[in-house]
């Protein structure tokens, strides 16, 4: 797999100073964690799940979660398990080389049961997502994960989801996060990334952000994200990749605030007419709020994001590409670090780079650069989005942000049974 693999070679050369690197299910966990990108959720009850996986892989999706938890009705769990096994078996037998696949379970026992039932089809599974992760059930989840890997002879990775009220409530938060940190540290080689369920956190206080606001505008949620990064995102070797919370909006409805996308980056693109039209399509699909939240995710130490609709994927991936300026600064910092440190002016002459305090940031930039590539000088996320839309509109699968962006609200019904629904709540 490789991000932006759907682009032609000449487009990759035009857009990237360094193209994204290839990765696969057997790559090092640190590589996979950085490369997760937009992790697209889909209910395990979908009868076309195998075809959906192949379709989303063609769109550029590199990680998917097949959900047996909040995305499906409690009455449908048994049917969902049966369908999941059948669909993954069909997908494995097709020989397709698709995205990293995870199953979101409800209990630790499901990990053991599904591992046994999948048999050879387990080869297409990267691991399991473990929701409502707390010290007690977390220990059971991780024990089951390790035992399933040993019994099957395959590496299985886990992604705990922090979303429970015990983490949200101030009087318990520090103790629970400390206990979870110690628990997960004991299983470091089995944990790929930590995920945040901001919607469940907000639910504990009867809150829900509007599409005009990011998670960081809801101060209670922003404080929780900060505390989780504080405990799990440290750069001293104890930290993990932490993914951003889900963006839960689709087009429709009246806007209360002005759009959050400035016109200037679009007007300055290589093809300003098409770029300005792209801006209009992004705004009409409520993706301007997602773009702002992604920028804040990055500023707060998060990498990758839960996605519940295919329209979000291209935006998340374009925003994950390392800019030429970031790469230039990171390269200079790491080169000077090897020489002993100090302070130097950025090659872009707009900032000072302090070698020692900025080294951890530079190393993180280089990990992201490996997964998503480095944009060519003067290429912005606008150019990357436009190229994605153009390439996918010309191919067998139209991009969600391609011209004539369709109304996507009809694709999700009240029980969330569309391809790409569910996600960290």
Say how far apart CA 55 and CA 44 lie, in whole Å. Answer: 16
**Exposure of 82 in the CB half-sphere (CA atoms within 13 A):** 4
Residue 279 has pLDDT above 70, yes or no: no
Q: Could you give the C-alpha distances from 316 to 38, 62, 293, 368, in angstroms and in order?
A: 6, 12, 10, 13
The whole-number average pLDDT for the span 228-247 is 96
Q: What is the model's pLDDT at position 397?
A: 43
Q: What is the CA radius of gyration of the chain?
A: 21
Helix (H) or strand (E) holding 40: strand 38-43
Q: What is the pLDDT of residue 417?
A: 36
Place 256 in a pLDDT band, splitting at 50, 70 and 90. very low
How many CB atoms lie under 10 A from the CB of residue 235?
Answer: 12
What share of the chain has pLDDT > 70, as a percent? 84
3-state secondary structure of 16: strand
- For residue 191, the number of C-alpha atoms closer than 13 Å in the C-beta half-sphere is 27
Residue 185: strand, helix, or coil: helix
Give the least confident one: 209-213, 293-297, 337-341.
337-341
CA–CA separation, 215 vs 208, rounded Å?
A: 9
Instruction: Provide the 10 A C-beta neighbour count for residue 28.
Output: 9
| pLDDT higher than threshold 90 for residue 316 | yes
3-state secondary structure of 320: helix
pLDDT(405) > 50: no
Q: Is the Cα dihedral 94, 95, 96, 98 positive or negative?
A: positive
Categorize the per-residue pLDDT at 414 as very low, low, confident or very high, splitting at 50, 70 and 90: very low
DSSP 247: P
Ranges 29-43, 70-84, 230-244, 282-296: which has the least confidence:
282-296
Task: State the average pLDDT over residues 118-140.
Answer: 97
Output the CA torsion sign for 297, 298, 303, 309.
positive
Instruction: Tell me the C-alpha distance between 2 and 11, whole Å.
Output: 15
Question: Which whole number is the average pLDDT over 210-219?
Answer: 91
pLDDT tens-digit series, residues 1-48: 999 999 999 999 999 999 999 999 999 999 999 999 999 999 999 999
Domains of the chain are 23-320 (3.20.20.60), 324-372 (no CATH)
pLDDT tens for 66-97 read 999 999 999 999 999 999 999 999 999 999 88
218, with CB counted inside 10 A (0-12, 13-18, 19+), is buried
pLDDT of 337 reads: 87
pTM for the model:
0.86
Q: How many helices (H) and strands (E) does the chain have?
A: 17, 11
348 vs 323, higher pLDDT: 323
pLDDT over threshold 60, residue 257: no
- By the 10 Å C-beta count (0-12 exposed, 13-18 middle, 19+ buried), 378 is classed as exposed
Residue 389 has what pLDDT? 84
């Amino acid at each position: 797999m490789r991000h932006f693999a759907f682009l032609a070679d000449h487009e990759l050369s035009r857009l990237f100073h360094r193209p994204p690197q290839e990765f696969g299910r057997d790559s090092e966990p640190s590589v996979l964690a950085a490369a997760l990108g937009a992790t697209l959720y889909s209910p395990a009850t979908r009868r076309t799940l195998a075809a959906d996986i192949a379709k989303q892989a063609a769109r550029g999706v590199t990680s998917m979660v097949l959900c047996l938890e909040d995305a499906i009705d409690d009455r449908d769990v048994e049917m969902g398990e049966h369908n999941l096994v059948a669909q993954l078996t069909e997908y494995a037998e097709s020989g397709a080389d698709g995205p990293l696949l995870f199953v979101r379970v409800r209990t630790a026992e499901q990990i053991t049961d599904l591992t046994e039932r999948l048999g050879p089809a387990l080869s297409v599974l990267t691991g399991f997502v473990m929701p409502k992760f707390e010290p007690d059930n977390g220990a059971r989840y991780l024990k089951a994960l390790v035992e399933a890997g040993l019994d099957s002879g395959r590496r299985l990775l886990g992604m705990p989801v922090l979303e429970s009220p015990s983490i949200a409530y101030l009087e318990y938060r520090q103790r629970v996060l400390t206990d979870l940190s110690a628990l997960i540290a004991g299983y470091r080689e089995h944990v790929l990334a930590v995920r945040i369920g901001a919607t469940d956190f907000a639910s504990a206080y009867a809150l829900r952000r509007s599409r005009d606001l990011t998670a960081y505008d809801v101060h209670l949620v922003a404080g929780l994200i900060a505390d989780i990064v504080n405990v799990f995102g440290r750069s001293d070797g104890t930290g993990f990749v932490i993914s951003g919370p889900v963006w839960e909006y689709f087009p429709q409805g009246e806007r209360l605030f002005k759009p959050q996308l400035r016109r200037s980056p679009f007007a300055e693109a290589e093809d300003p007419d098409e770029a300005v039209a792209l801006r209009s399509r992004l705004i009409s699909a409520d993706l301007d709020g997602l773009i702002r939240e992604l920028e804040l995710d990055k500023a707060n130490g998060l990498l990758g994001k839960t996605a519940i609709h295919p329209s979000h994927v291209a935006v998340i991936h374009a925003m994950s590409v390392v800019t030429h300026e970031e790469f230039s600064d990171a390269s200079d910092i790491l080169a000077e670090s090897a020489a002993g440190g100090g302070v130097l002016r950025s090659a872009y002459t707009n900032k000072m780079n302090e070698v020692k305090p900025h080294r951890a940031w530079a190393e993180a930039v280089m990990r992201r650069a490996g997964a998503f590539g480095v944009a060519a000088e003067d290429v912005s996320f606008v150019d990357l989005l436009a190229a994605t839309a153009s390439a996918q509109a010309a191919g067998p699968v139209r991009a969600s942000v391609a011209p004539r962006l369709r109304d996507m609200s009809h694709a999700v019904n009240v029980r969330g049974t569309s391809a790409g629904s569910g996600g960290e709540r």
